[in-house]
Amino acid sequence: MAEGANRSLADKLNELFANVRPDVGHEYSNEQVAAAIRGTGVTISQSYIWQLRKGVKNNPTLKHLEALAGFFGVPAAYFLDTETNNRVAEQLKLLAETQARLADSSPESDVKLMAMRAGHLSGERRKQVMDLLDVVYRLEQAEAKQQDTQ
């Protein structure tokens, strides 16, 4: 992958679409991304995302960059800072390789994707994710135990 400073916004955004996917065989559509972002209260259209991806538009607001970064689970600095972009691009490359190896959509690929995204969270947010995972795990264990007794 090229150095972050030499890559356009469109290149960076397309890299996210290519590597962060809803499932192994499919990319998110511009409309899926726009709808999810609109669900957070940020106004954005699929055509605007298309224009960003094609390089027709190349100066989005910080709010749009933050929303796009949030959707794809990367820091907003991915679009602005060469060092962050290079680090995330390397992680995306590893993710793509992992997804290719685990194309059977096994639980391992989900775990790796969650771990990669968690790596971008603050320590406090990672703790919240772990607390949530603990709650979900205990609920699942209780449900399994209840099914075993039936």
**Which long-range CB contacts under 8 A does 86-94 form with residues at least 24 apart?**
86/3, 86/4, 89/1, 89/4, 89/15, 90/1, 91/116, 91/119, 92/15, 92/16, 92/19, 92/20, 93/1, 93/19
Q: What is the pLDDT of residues 91-119, one digit of tens each?
A: 888 877 777 766 655 676 677 777 777 77
Sign for the pseudo-dihedral over CA of 71, 73, 76, 78: negative
Question: From CA 47, how far away is CA 12, in angstroms rounded?
Answer: 18
Whole-number pLDDT of residue 6? 79
Rank 4-8, 54-58, 98-102, 106-110 by mean pLDDT and report only the highest: 54-58
Q: What does pTM read for this prediction?
A: 0.64
Orientation angle between helical segments 82-101 and 107-118, nearest 10 degrees:
170
Domain boundary assignment for the chain: 4-105
CATH topology of domain 4-105: 434 Repressor (Amino-terminal Domain) (1.10.260)
